[in-house]
Amino acid sequence: MPDLGNPIGSVTESSPSLVRIEINNAEDFETHKAKLGVGQYLLTASGNNLYLLATITAVRASHIDRSRSGAADDGDSGNADSIVFRFQIDTQPIGTLSEEGEFTRGTPALPVPTEYAYVTPPAILSDIFSKQIRSPFSFGTLSVAPDVNFEVDGDRFFSKHVAVVGSTGSGKSCAVAKILQTVVGIQEELNANKAAQKNAHIVIFDIHAEYAAAFKLAETENFALNLLDVDTLRLPYWLMNAQELEEMFIESNELNSHNQVSQFRHAVVRNKCRHNPGVEHLSFDTPVYFSIDEVVTYLENMNAEVIGKQIGEGKPKLANGTLVVDRDVCYFDALQSFVVASTAKDTKASNGPFHGEFDRLILRLRTRLADPRLRFLFYPVKADGTSLVTSDFADVVRQFIGYLTQSNVSIVDLSGIPFEVLSIVVSLISRMIFDFGFHYSKSRHVGGNVSDVPIMVVCEEAHNYVPRSGGAQYDSSRKSIERIAKEGRKYGVTLMVVSQRPSEVSETIFSQCSNFISLRLTNAVDQSYIKSLLPDLSAGVGDLLPNLGQGEFLIVGDAPLMPTVGRFALPVPEPHSRSVNYLQEWNANWREVDFDDVIDRWRGKVFAANV
Q: CB-based contacts of 545: which residues, under 8 Å, 6+ apart?
A: 518, 520, 521, 527, 530, 531, 554
Interatomic CA distance for residues 139 and 151, integer angstroms: 5
Per-10-residue mean pLDDT of the chain, 611 residues long, equals 83 91 87 86 86 89 58 48 79 87 82 92 87 86 89 93 92 94 92 85 94 92 90 92 90 87 95 92 92 96 94 92 92 95 91 93 93 90 90 90 79 90 93 92 86 92 89 87 95 95 92 92 86 61 79 89 87 77 75 76 55 41
Query: What CA–CA distance (Å, rounded) separates 493 from 21?
Result: 46
Helical residues (DSSP H) of 305-421, grouped into ranges: 327-330, 359-370, 375-378, 393-398
Question: How many Cα atoms within 13 Å fall on the side-chain side of residue 280?
Answer: 0
Model pTM score: 0.85
Q: Please classify residue 306 by burial: count the beta carbons closer than 10 Å to its beta carbon, then call 0-12 exposed, 13-18 middle and 19+ buried.
A: buried
Nearest to 159 by CA among 141, 134, 140: 134
pLDDT for the residue 418: 87
CB-CB neighbours of 602 under 10 Å:
10
